[in-house]
Amino acid sequence: MKASDIPRVGSLGLRTRRARTALTALGIAIGIAAMVAVVGISSSSRADLLAQLDQLGTNLLQVQPGNDAFGQTVNLPASAPGMIRRIAPVQSAAATRTVAATVRRTDKIPSGQSGGIAVVATEPQLLDTIGGRLSAGRFLNDATTRYPAVVLGSQAASRLGISDLAGNPVVYIGGHWFEVVGILDPIPLAADLDRSVLIGYDIAKQLFGIDDAPSTVRVRTDPDQVESVRAVLAATTNPQQPGNVSVTRPSDALAAKAATDKSLTALLLGLGAVALVVGGVGIGNVMVISVLERRTEIGLRRALGATKGNVRVQFLVEAVLLALLGGVTGAALGSAITAIYARNQGWTISIPSAALGAGVGLSLALGALAGIYPAVRAARLAPAEAIHPA
């Protein structure tokens, strides 16, 4: 038998019994599909987080006061925003200051039921610095920071029951009515602002008596100089006590999220592997039965001059092709599952080609392993006994 004849001869049994072939290959297909889908989905989710990071930028830094020697939190020096803006690679910086006041939909609601919404005084530059967008209205500007105007974070807006600016809604902040001028979209790199309402520094000073010392300064830097800015930020913010300043990069949290979920992925991969092994046993089982059923075919081929080796190769190739069929189907199925899931989540689809290759390679190896015993049995049949049914 020529090598080029092997695939045709080896696939003959599969072509003859199509339903059995499909069902047997299904076992392997499910295992491979599960593994490819697990890898594909976790990789798509990671790719999505990284794409988000890319879009949000990793050049946003956040400066907050640390604890002093007595464990007390002291606000940043009032001079901090100006000093920070003087660092050359800083593109923009915006200070915010938490205001000890509650926000309510109306004055009829008791002050205890403020819904956990923080009131934050801010500078107009905040929006550009954090890369925020408005779902309605406008952000605070130099004019409106002096008046009782408020911009709602996305979660704060939904808790207050305000989804748009129709009817000029107002909210009740610390005993004063504020007009809602804008509502923010969710801000991934400043999730705390989603649960806040933002008012101008000037009006906050006037109504609530806060000083100029900010509680947070957010800094957008040249993307290539993030680390060098980070290195000097503490000393710039508070030259007397740089140790009292904490500098963080909010995008680090997202990056960390991308790296987690490894243990769950491993567990699911293990389950897929179990399915795969069961599929492999199924192939071995079906091949043993096939050899019993096809005694006369084996006898005939031996009579026509097939060597033991020819028969062995035929059945081994059949098992491998069966597994390969399952593997390729499974890889396609797993990719489809990944694509559908990723699309539903709004992710970019990412299926590592290594996972596809490993899936198909694994099924090949499994098929070869499962086919050895039946193939050896087929080859061992004595031609005279195989051809004359007893």
What is the Cα gyration radius of the chain?
34
List CB contacts of 64: < 8 A, sequence separation 6 or more.
76, 215, 216, 217, 245, 246, 248
Q: What is the contact mask toward another protein in residues 360 to 389, using x (rule: CB under 8 A)?
A: ----------------------xxx--xxx
Residue 244 contacts residue 75 (beta carbons within 8 Å):
no
297 binds another protein (CB under 8 A): yes
1 binds another protein (CB under 8 A): yes
Residue 121 contacts residue 260 (beta carbons within 8 Å):
no
- Give the shortest CB-323-to-another protein separation in angstroms: 21
For another protein, the closer CB: 220 or 312: 312
CA atoms of 286 and 314, how far apart (whole Å): 15
Residue 325 contacts residue 17 (beta carbons within 8 Å):
no
390 binds another protein (CB under 8 A): no
Residue 363 contacts residue 28 (beta carbons within 8 Å):
yes
Residue 173 contacts residue 150 (beta carbons within 8 Å):
yes
Instruction: Using the Cα atoms of residue 44, residue 248, residue 63 and residue 237 in order, give the sign of their dihedral.
Output: negative
For another protein, the closer CB: 309 or 357: 309
- Give the shortest CB-288-to-another protein separation in angstroms: 20
For another protein, the closer CB: 19 or 382: 382
What are the respective helix, strand and coil percentages of the chain, to the nearest 5? 60, 15, 25
CA distances (Å), origin 185, targets 127, 154, 189: 11, 6, 12
Choice from 302, 328, 335, 381 touching another protein (CB under 8 A) = 302
Q: What is the contact mask toward another protein in residues 7 to 26, using x (rule: CB under 8 A)?
A: --x--x--xx----------
Question: DSSP string of 204-236?
Answer: HHHHH---S--SEEEEEE-GGGHHHHHHHHHHH
Which span (5-13, 142-150, 181-189, 344-352) binds another protein, by CB under 8 A?
5-13
- Give the shortest CB-7-to-another protein separation in angstroms: 12
- Give the shortest CB-379-to-another protein separation in angstroms: 9
Instruction: Using the Cα atoms of residue 365, residue 367, residue 369 and residue 371 in order, give the sign of their dihedral.
Output: negative
Choice from 300, 337, 349, 358 touching another protein (CB under 8 A) = 300
Q: What is the contact mask toward another protein in residues 303 to 322, using x (rule: CB under 8 A)?
A: xxxxxxxx------------
For another protein, the closer CB: 137 or 383: 383
Residue 54 contacts residue 227 (beta carbons within 8 Å):
no
Choice from 27, 132, 153, 299 touching another protein (CB under 8 A) = 299
301 binds another protein (CB under 8 A): yes
Burial of 342 (0-12, 13-18, 19+ CB in 10 A): buried
CA atoms of 5 and 1, how far apart (whole Å): 7
Task: Tell me the pairing of strands 170-173 and 103-104.
Answer: antiparallel
Q: Could you identify the residue written with the tokens 């059945």? A: 315
For another protein, the closer CB: 176 or 308: 308
For another protein, the closer CB: 28 or 306: 306
For another protein, the closer CB: 86 or 388: 388
231 binds another protein (CB under 8 A): no
- Give the shortest CB-22-to-another protein separation in angstroms: 16
72 binds another protein (CB under 8 A): no
**Footprint on residues 128-147 left by another protein (CB under 8 A):** none
For another protein, the closer CB: 84 or 286: 286
For another protein, the closer CB: 14 or 33: 14
The letter for the amino acid at 192 is: D
For another protein, the closer CB: 7 or 357: 7
Q: Is 296 helix (H, G, I), strand (E, B) or coil?
A: helix
Q: How many residues bind another protein (CB under 8 A)?
A: 28
Binding site for another protein (CB under 8 A): 1-2, 4-5, 9, 12, 15-16, 296-297, 299-310, 382-384, 387-389
